[in-house]
Structure 1
């Protein structure tokens, strides 16, 4: 299998998070539901640049996307592919009651949850009404098991999805993937595996 993953372009949610983190705010200024967050203008441009790179590659046999708007907008802009298959198992992590909160907001409003995450660890911590990274890994294993072999596959999704697919494909440990996760997966970056062998990860040279 030739598997290429792209993270969505910069979203208005990414911009709001950055502003909130810089200012020390407890809540991110995001009016939409998580599934409805669109690309920013910069994100649209990133998707267009990604499209130039994809146009120079062999076309995929199958294109899948998270149902979330920012992922769909990215792959539609980049490929113009008419048969994009939406798979809800590729959605971003559900943060439940902690949605829109910065770490400062969680510590101030849910101090027990903040301490619990520190105790349990990021991989297994499940926020109230949300899911852990381990929960995500279960649904992503199901996606990968359903993919056709001997195919070129393109997936548009989210940073946590890409990290966890690497965890599954490369057979990594919790400690290994949490170390890799310290370096953020960039917007509109490209990661690729051929027959389980990593060809590139978090590649952004096409955006320059």
Structure 2
């Protein structure tokens, strides 16, 4: 199988929705209370600085380790992160809707408390089916996101064989790329989601080994934010899915 030389995925910087969701969960609100649709949520000032710090990390990479191409989720928070991080690098950038965030359907904009109060049957169904297979009405299961990522990976391997590819996306995509690239099982993937919260502007990467297979290098790394003087988002401020 054709393979990439290096694959990175960077989660977008802290967004205004992350900030609002943390506040809503802490106060017991049922709704996050955003005026934007999910695709149009911007970065917070902290998120902008995280993206610039990521850009300083990229600029410090040796030339033979820098990305050849970047592919970005079309959602504003990911596009803005990529624009700030890649400013002045000359790296070719394209957008791909297969990198968009997981769609939550009728649960969009609700906190975990709001889902349990407004849609108790859905909360029960999610508990019964499990996180991997549960599909909210009008939304996507994790398996749906995996399917679109699987096709994207196939295209990247075909179009960029032997090259270094950088993705900008969302937290669920980081987990699901590990599932796809490393051949994880559902229990292994779900264990990762219980043990880790994907940090804003964190970096996860894989590189080709001697057999040409992608192997995990770093996972959910934020050391570059500390080194570049940016403020990482605290773990309790990184909004997860409501159910």
Q: Which of 39, 44, 51 lines up with 2:48 in the alignment?
A: 44
Q: Identify the residue that residue 191 of structure 1 maps to in structure 2.
A: 204
Q: CA deviation at 1:82?
A: 6.1
CA–CA distance in 1 between the matches of 2:77 and 2:187?
30
Q: Identify the residue that residue 143 of structure 2 maps to in structure 1.
A: 134
Q: Identify the residue that residue 83 of structure 1 maps to in structure 2.
A: 92
Q: Does 1:144 align with 2:166?
A: no
Q: Which of 160, 168, 174 lines up with 2:172 in the alignment?
A: 160
In the TM superposition, 1:101-140 aligns within 5 A as 101-140=110-149
Runs of 5+ in structure 2 lacking a partner? 209-213, 227-243
8 Å CA contact retained: 2:69, 2:91: no
Q: Identify the residue that residue 9 of structure 1 maps to in structure 2.
A: 13
State the TM-score, normalized to the length of structure 1. 0.98
In the TM superposition, 1:175-190 aligns within 5 A as 175-182=187-194, 183-190=196-203
1:202 aligned counterpart, secondary structure? coil
| Residue-pair matches, total | 208
State the TM-score, normalized to the length of structure 2. 0.84
Q: CA deviation at 1:59?
A: 2.5
Q: Does 1:60 align with 2:67?
A: yes
CA–CA distance in 2 between the matches of 1:69 and 1:186?
18
2:220 aligned counterpart, secondary structure? strand
2:14 aligned counterpart, secondary structure? coil
Runs of 5+ in structure 1 lacking a partner? none
Q: Does 1:203 align with 2:216?
A: no
Q: CA deviation at 1:78?
A: 0.5
CA deviation string 1:140-179 (max 9, x = no partner) = 0000000121010000000001110111001001111111
CA deviation string 1:70-111 (max 9, x = no partner) = 000001100124631000000000001100001111111111
| Root mean square deviation, CA, Å | 0.9
